[in-house]
C-alpha cells in the first residue's frame, strides 16, 4: 500500500488514514478467538502503519500553506450533494497526528485483561471514527464520523470499564447523542438554506462557508444547533456531568483516548464548523461562551479539589483545561486560537499521561481512592518522578507544554476579552492547588502496610510513558515547529471571521511603542479604570 506513496500527490493518504484502521478492525474480527495473539499482532501492525502514515503526513505537510492540503474529493451521494471530502490544515494536523500516535501506544501498552479480540476491534473502529471526524470537510460526512465515534466508545466503557460502567456508558451515549440530534437538524437545514445561495444542494463545508450568506437570525439559530452538540462534547459547563462518570468508569485506554482526542472533537468542531461556517453568530454569542468557559475553568478546578477519587479529579481538571481552549477560541485573535489548537494537543498529551498513571496505580492497588494511597514516592521514586513531570505540565509550569498553550490563549485573549482573561488567569492558581494537594496525599508521607509493596515503574510502562514525556518537554522548550504549522491556518480563520463580522481581529498592539497613536486614546482611558481595579487585587 505504501508503495503507491511514491507519487505523493496521488496517494490518498487521508482516505488511507481512515480505511486502514477499519480494514484492521475487520481483520481482527476474522481471527480465531482461541488465538488472541493474532488479533493483537494485527491491531499493532495496523495502528503502527497508521502512525507511520500520520508521521509521513506531518513531514510532508507544507508549512507555509494556510489552506487544506492532501485534499481528497469524490462525489458520494450525488442527488443530496454529499461528498467524500477530506483535507487537513494547520488546525487539524496535530490532532490527526496525535490520533495516529496515541492508538498504537495504548494498544501496545495497556492490556484489557479479557476479550482482547472485540476490544481491539473497537479500538481500531474508534481510531477510524476520530480520524474521519478530524479530516472531514463535508458536513454530512463529519456527522457520520462524529456519531460513529460514540459506538465503539460506548462498548469500550460498557464492556471493559469499572464497577459503574453501564450507567456511565449509557449516560455518555444518550447525552452526546442528544447533542448530536440538534446538529443533525442544524446541518440539514444549513445545506438546504445554503442551496439558495449556491444554486445547488451541497453539504460541502468549504462551499457553504465561502459561498453562502445566511440571514443574521438564521445563522444564529443554525450556529446554536451545532454549538449544543459541540458544547456537550467539549464539555462546557453546565453540560459536563457525563464526563466525570465516563472518564472514571472507562478502561485506562478509553480514558486516555477520551481525554487525548475525543474531547477535542468539541473544541475542534467549534473552530471548524462554528467559527468558519457562522462567523457572525459566533462573534455575536461570544460572551455566552467566554463566560461558560471561564466558569468551567474555576468551577472545574474547585470541584476537582474535593474529589476523593483520583480519576475523577483528573476528569474535573479536564473541564477546567477545556475551558481555556474555549476561551481562546472565542477571543478571535491569532495568538489565542493558535494557543487553543496547541492546547488541544497539550491537554491530550498531559491528561492522557495522567490517566495512564491513574490506570497503573489502579492495577497495582485496585483502588483509586486518594485516601487509601500514601507514601508512594518513598517506594517508587521513578514512578513518582514521572507523575510529577506530567503533573507540572498539567499545572502549566513554563518549560513544559501546558504552559505554552495556556500562555498563548491568555495573552491573546487579554486584548479582546480582558476581564474573562483576568479570571481565567486566576484559575491557573487553582490548578496548582488541587494537583499538588493530591500529589502530597498520594506520594508524600510514609507508606502504610497496604502501599509498602507498590511496584516501581516497569520497563514496558516506561516505554509507553517516554513519548509523552518527550512531547511534554519538546513542546515546552521549542514549540516553533508546531506553531509554524498551526498559525497560517488560524490566521486565515481569524481573517475569515473578521471579514464576516464586526470584530476587530487585528488589534493594534503597539499603541504605546514608538509614536503615540491618537486613534487609541479612548482605549488608554479605559486602561485608567482598569488600573484602579487591578491595584485593588495587588
Interaction residues for other proteins, span 272-291 (CB under 8 A): none
CA dihedral 253, 255, 261, 265 (to 10 degrees): 140
Cβ–Cβ < 8 Å for 46, 39: no
Q: What is the DSSP letter of 333?
A: S
Chain positions 453 to 482 lying near other proteins, rule: CB under 8 A, are 478-480
Q: Which is nearer to other proteins, 208 or 494 (CB)?
A: 494
Q: What is d(CA 192, CA 201) in angstroms, rounded to the nearest whole number?
A: 6
Burial class (CB in 10 A: 0-12, 13-18, 19+), 290: buried
Count Cβ atoms within 10 A of the Cβ of residue 516 and give its class: 0-12 exposed, 13-18 middle, 19 or more buried.
exposed
Among 25, 404, 471, 497, binds other proteins (CB under 8 A): 404
Which three-class secondary structure state does DSSP give residue 108? helix
Q: Under the criterion CB under 8 A, does residue 410 sit at the interface with other proteins?
A: yes
**Nearest-angstrom CA–CA distance, 185 and 165:** 30
* The binder of other proteins chosen from 23, 45, 411, 498 (CB under 8 A): 411
* Count of all residues that appear for the chain in the document: 538
Task: Considering the complex, state which of residue 14 and residue 389 has its C-beta at the smaller distance from other proteins.
Answer: 389
Question: At its nearest, how many Å lie between other proteins and the CB of residue 360?
Answer: 20
Interactions with other proteins, residue window 242-271 (CB under 8 A): 242
Which of 151, 184, 432, 473: binder of other proteins (CB under 8 A)? Answer: 432
Query: For residue 440, what is its C-alpha cell?
Result: 502530597
CA atoms within 13 A on the CB side of 79: 0
Shortest CB 417 distance to other proteins, Å? 11
To other proteins, the closest distance from the beta carbon of 375 in angstroms equals 7
CB of 17 to other proteins, least distance (A): 28
Question: By CB under 8 A, what part of segment 517-536 binds other proteins?
Answer: 524, 527-528, 530-531, 534-535
For other proteins, the binding residue among 1, 26, 185, 429 (CB under 8 A) is 429
Least distance from C-beta 69 to other proteins, angstroms? 20
If one asks whether residue 425 binds other proteins (CB under 8 A), the answer comes out as yes
Cell of 294: 471561564
Q: Which of residues 480-519 bind other proteins (CB under 8 A)?
A: 480, 483-484, 487, 491, 507, 509-516
Query: Shortest gap between Cβ of 414 and other proteins (angstroms)?
Result: 4
Size of interface with other proteins, in residues (CB under 8 A): 75
- Angle (CA) 482-292-393 rounded to 5° is 35
Supply the angle between the helices 13-30 and 90-109 in degrees, to the nearest 10: 20
Compare residues 218 and 378 and give the one whose CB is closer to other proteins: 378
Exactly one of 172, 299, 357, 468 binds other proteins (CB under 8 A); that residue is 299
Q: Which stretch binds other proteins (CB under 8 A): 28-36, 141-149, 233-241, 449-457?
A: 233-241
Q: Match 492522557 to its residue by C-alpha cell.
A: 352
- C-alpha 319/C-alpha 312 separation (Å) is 11
At residue 441, the 3 state secondary structure works out as helix
* Shortest separation between residue 527's beta carbon and other proteins, angstroms: 5
Residues 340-399 interacting with other proteins (rule: CB under 8 A): 375, 377-378, 392, 397-399
Calpha distance 392→354 (Å, rounded):
11
Q: Which of 536, 411, 393, 533 is CA-nearest to residue 476?
A: 393
Q: Which of residues 80-139 bind other proteins (CB under 8 A)?
A: none
Q: Which is nearer to other proteins, 253 or 376 (CB)?
A: 376
Helix axes 139-148, 165-198, angle to 10 degrees: 180
Nearer to other proteins, 148 or 342 (CB): 342
289 close to 326: Cβ distance less than 8 angstroms:
yes
Backbone angles phi, psi at 72, to 5 degrees: -130, 115
Please tell me whether residue 305 binds other proteins under the rule CB under 8 A. Answer: yes
Is residue 446 within the footprint of other proteins (CB under 8 A)? Answer: yes
Q: How far is the CB of 238 from other proteins (least distance, A)?
A: 5
Asked if 444 touches other proteins (CB under 8 A), the answer is yes
Going by C-beta distance under 8 Å and a sequence separation of 6 or more, which residues neighbour residue 449?
A: none
Nearer to other proteins (CB atom), residue 357 or residue 403: 403
Nearer to other proteins, 111 or 491 (CB): 491
Q: How far is the CB of 102 from other proteins (least distance, A)?
A: 25
Q: Binders of other proteins among 20-39, rule CB under 8 A?
A: none
User: Strand (E) positions, 103-200?
Assistant: none
| Nearest residue (CB) to other proteins, 211 versus 516 | 516
Among 106, 124, 294, 408, binds other proteins (CB under 8 A): 408
Question: Do the beta carbons of residue 430 and residue 406 sit within 8 Å?
Answer: no
At its nearest, how many Å lie between other proteins and the CB of residue 18? 31
Could you give the CA distance from residue 395 to residue 389 in angstroms, rounded to a whole number?
Answer: 10
The only residue of 37, 502, 522, 537 in contact with other proteins, by rule CB under 8 A: 537
Q: Do the Cβ atoms of 374 and 334 come closer than 8 Å?
A: no
Residues of span 166-225 touching other proteins by CB under 8 A? 171, 174-175
The residue written with cell numbers 475523577 in the block is: 312
Amino acid at each position: 500500500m505504501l508503495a503507491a506513496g511514491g507519487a505523493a500527490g496521488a496517494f490518498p493518504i487521508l482516505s488511507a488514514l481512515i480505511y486502514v484502521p477499519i480494514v484492521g478492525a475487520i481483520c481482527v474480527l476474522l481471527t480465531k478467538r482461541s488465538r488472541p495473539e493474532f488479533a493483537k499482532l494485527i491491531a499493532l501492525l495496523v495502528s503502527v502503519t497508521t502512525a507511520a502514515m500520520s508521521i509521513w503526513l506531518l513531514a510532508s505537510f507544507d508549512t507555509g500553506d494556510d489552506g487544506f492540503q492532501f485534499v481528497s474529493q469524490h462525489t458520494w451521494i450525488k442527488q443530496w450533494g454529499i461528498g467524500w471530502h477530506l483535507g487537513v490544515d494547520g488546525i487539524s494536523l496535530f490532532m490527526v497526528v496525535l490520533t495516529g500516535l496515541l492508538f498504537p501506544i495504548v494498544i501496545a501498552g495497556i492490556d484489557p485483561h479479557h476479550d482482547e479480540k472485540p476490544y481491539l476491534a473497537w479500538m481500531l473502529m474508534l481510531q477510524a471514527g476520530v480520524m474521519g471526524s478530524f479530516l472531514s470537510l463535508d458536513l454530512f460526512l463529519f456527522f457520520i464520523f462524529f456519531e460513529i465515534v460514540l459506538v465503539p466508545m460506548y462498548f469500550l466503557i460498557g464492556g471493559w470499564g469499572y464497577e459503574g460502567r453501564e450507567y456511565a456508558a449509557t449516560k455518555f451515549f444518550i447525552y452526546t447523542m442528544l447533542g448530536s440530534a440538534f446538529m443533525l437538524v442544524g446541518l440539514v437545514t444549513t445545506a438546504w438554506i445554503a442551496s439558495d445561495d449556491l444554486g445547488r444542494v451541497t453539504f460541502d463545508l468549504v462551499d457553504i462557508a465561502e459561498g453562502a450568506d445566511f440571514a443574521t437570525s438564521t445563522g444564529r439559530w443554525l450556529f446554536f444547533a451545532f454549538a449544543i452538540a459541540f458544547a456537550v462534547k467539549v464539555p462546557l459547563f453546565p453540560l459536563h456531568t457525563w464526563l466525570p462518570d465516563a472518564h472514571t468508569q472507562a478502561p485506562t485506554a478509553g480514558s486516555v483516548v477520551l481525554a487525548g482526542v475525543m474531547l477535542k472533537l468539541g473544541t475542534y468542531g467549534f473552530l471548524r464548523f462554528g467559527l468558519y461556517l457562522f462567523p457572525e453568530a459566533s462573534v455575536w454569542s461570544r460572551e455566552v461562551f467566554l463566560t461558560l468557559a471561564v466558569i468551567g475553568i474555576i468551577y472545574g478546578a474547585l470541584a476537582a479539589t474535593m474529589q476523593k477519587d483520583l480519576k475523577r479529579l483528573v476528569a474535573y481538571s479536564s473541564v477546567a483545561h477545556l475551558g481555556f481552549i474555549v476561551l481562546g477560541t472565542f477571543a478571535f485573535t491569532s495568538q489565542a486560537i493558535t494557543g487553543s489548537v496547541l492546547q488541544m494537543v497539550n491537554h491530550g498529551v498531559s491528561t492522557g499521561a495522567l490517566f495512564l498513571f491513574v490506570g497503573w496505580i489502579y492495577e497495582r492497588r485496585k483502588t483509586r481512592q486518594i485516601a487509601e494511597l500514601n507514601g508512594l514516592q518513598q517506594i517508587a521514586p521513578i514512578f513518582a518522578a514521572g507523575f510529577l513531570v506530567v503533573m507540572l505540565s498539567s499545572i502549566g509550569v513554563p518549560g513544559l507544554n501546558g504552559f505554552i498553550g495556556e500562555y498563548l490563549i491568555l495573552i491573546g485573549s487579554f486584548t479582546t476579552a480582558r476581564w474573562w482573561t483576568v479570571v481565567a488567569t486566576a484559575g491557573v492558581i487553582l490548578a496548582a492547588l488541587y494537583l499538588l494537594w493530591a500529589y502530597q496525599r498520594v506520594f508524600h508521607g510514609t507508606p502504610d502496610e497496604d502501599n509498602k509493596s507498590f511496584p516501581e515503574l516497569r520497563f514496558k510502562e516506561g516505554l509507553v510513558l517516554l513519548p509523552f514525556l518527550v512531547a511534554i518537554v519538546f513542546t515546552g522548550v521549542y514549540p516553533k515547529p508546531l506553531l509554524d504549522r498551526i498559525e497560517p491556518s488560524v490566521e486565515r480563520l481569524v481573517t475569515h471571521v473578521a471579514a464576516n463580522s464586526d470584530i476587530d481581529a487585528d488589534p493594534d498592539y503597539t499603541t504605546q511603542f514608538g509614536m503615540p497613536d491618537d486613534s487609541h486614546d479612548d482605549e488608554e482611558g479605559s486602561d485608567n479604570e482598569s488600573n484602579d481595579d487591578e491595584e485593588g487585587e495587588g
